[in-house]
Amino acid sequence: MSSFETICAELKNTHTTLVAVSKTKPVDQIMPIYQKGQRIFGENKVQEMVDKYEQMPKDIEWHLIGHLQTNKVKYIAPFVSMIHSIDRLKLLDEVEKQAAKNNRIIKVLLQMHVANEDTKFGLDETELVEIMDYYLTNPKNYAHINIVGIMGMATNTNDTNQIRNEFKQLKGIFQFIKNAYFLNKKDFTEISMGMSSDYKIAVEEGSTMVRIGSLLFGQR
Ligand SMILES: *Cc1c(COP(=O)(O)O)cnc(C)c1O
């Protein structure tokens, strides 16, 4: 079995969806997995996602998973299905503005910082509360975005206990947001966590979306 089939088999009886992270890989290496049925692909660079969107079948759901510059949202707003990396209010506002221009609703995840590394983007809990308070007091300003969950990355370490604890933390943050803000929002359901090296732990800890690249497509 290829790694794609192995991963699909592993996820089959879980609540976890596969986001195939195709960044840096050319279309001819991505298409075989599309042909096997994969429809959700993740990219971290705007230009690369636009290029692939133009070249590839239109029933693909494109997920932007990496750090997103505000001035580039306009290029993906016409087609992007989900943005995993909302890490500031200014970005949320820009996604709303560009989604409105395209007469679309874009699904987004709030990216939370839990890893023990300064280099990883994401909100801390204070910033999260600030965004949520603003969002909930101005709901009319956000008619074109749908906050459906959170995203996070664990520390890049061999210490599986630490990784597991960080995933538990993410699950706890998800529950906190759900209870505090979205108790009656039926589609606030997503916890995007887990990559090639740690997705099995993430699934055990309640991930609903794993973002897997190198295991599917080889090292970058
Ligand atoms: C590249 C990337 C992934 C996939 O990483 P792999 O280790 O190749 O599975 C997942 N999430 C984000 C945010 C990424 O940038």
At 170, the amino acid letter reads L
pLDDT of residue 80 exceeding 90, the answer is yes
Q: Cα(206)–Cα(159) distance, rounded to whole angstroms?
A: 19
Query: For the chain, what are the domain ranges?
Result: 3-217
- Give the SS3 label for residue 123: strand
pLDDT-above-70 percentage for the chain: 99
- Give the SS3 label for residue 152: strand
- 111-162 residue pLDDT tens: 999 988 777 789 999 999 999 999 999 988 999 999 999 999 999 999 999 9
Residue of the nearest CA to atom 10 in ligand 1? 211
Torsion sign over Cα 130, 132, 133, 139: positive
Q: What is the CATH number of domain 3-217?
A: 3.20.20.10
Average pLDDT, the chain: 96
The count of other CB atoms within 10 Å of the CB of residue 103 is 8
**According to the model, what pLDDT value does residue 1 have?**
62
> Probe ligand 1: pick from 195, 200, 219, max atoms within 8 Å of CB?
195
pLDDT of residue 203 exceeding 80, the answer is yes
What's the CA-to-centroid distance between 125 and ligand 1, angstroms?
A: 23
> Probe ligand 1: pick from 40, 65, 121, max atoms within 8 Å of CB?
65
